Amino acid sequence: MREDTAHYLTRVLRLAVGATFVAFDPATAREADATIASVDPSVVLQISALRAARVTARRPLTFVQGLAKGDKCDAVVRDATELGATCVIVAECARSVVQLQGARRTSRLERWTRIAQEAARQCGRADPPRIELLPWKDAVSTLEDDAQRFCLHVHEALPLGPLLLEALRTEGAPIAFAAGPEGGLTADEVALAMTQRWQCVSLGALVLRTETAAAAVLGAVRVLDS
């Protein structure tokens, strides 16, 4: 067993010999019952037969987040994982202040992937979302053909609520949201999304921070789709 996993089981969760839990294999979305057989000198588990994971996402659910400053994207990845997203695409936008090149690009993507795996483990989910980092134009055009696409845009008046309720009526059908970085999307970026069948929608008059918007719309899906 990897050392960080052993630490998580015996130090963070404080599981002792005899304790049971469910072990996930995210790569195959399978799980098994596990019992701690020994902790010293190393952690040894007794594992039942593998089965299909019980708690998986209910539909393909993508969140495209404009690359934002500081740890905002970390928070979006964590929240989106808890709230059932199956894919989080961090999109490099015209108003993204951060520029990720070369090694920083790789390490940031690894960081978000690790955050998604940890969040999935903590919320009891077998299938962490896929994480991608793409230019905006690619981010808004790499979706399932039948996905309902909602672009959160502060200057637009069409309320999301009724459209989302309609989209949720089809069980298992893909849904996607997109939001810009702190400075918002440019008119060109919005126009480009619209050519890819994204609808511009509003969440009302109050201005949301970018990370609150993600939790709000994915929260709405979670509440209405469970």
If binding means CB under 8 A, how many residues of this protein chain bind its own copies? 35
Q: Are the C-beta atoms of residues 32 and 48 closer than 8 Å to each other?
A: yes
Strand partners, 52: 30
The residues, any chain, with a CB within 8 Å of residue 80's CB and separated by 6 or more, are 63, 88, 129, 214, 218
In DSSP terms, 85 is beta-bridged to none
CB nearer its own copies, residue 155 or residue 209:
209
Q: Does 93 bind its own copies (CB under 8 A)?
A: no
The answer to the question of residue 12 lying near its own copies (CB under 8 A) is no
Residues 148-207 that bind its own copies (CB under 8 A): 159-161, 164-165, 202-207
Among 122, 170, 191, 197, binds its own copies (CB under 8 A): 122
Q: Cα–Cα distance between 119 and 142 in angstroms, integer?
A: 25
Q: Hey, which residues does 197 pair with through a beta bridge?
A: none
Using rule CB under 8 A, residue 226 touches its own copies: yes
Of residues 27 through 86, those in contact with its own copies by CB under 8 A are 54-55, 79, 82-84
d(CA 113, CA 118): 9
Report the residue number, 6 or 123, with the smaller CB distance to its own copies.
123
Can you give the C-alpha Rg of the chain in angstroms?
Answer: 19
Binding residues for its own copies, per CB under 8 A? 54-55, 79, 82-84, 122-125, 159-161, 164-165, 202-209, 212, 215-220, 222-226
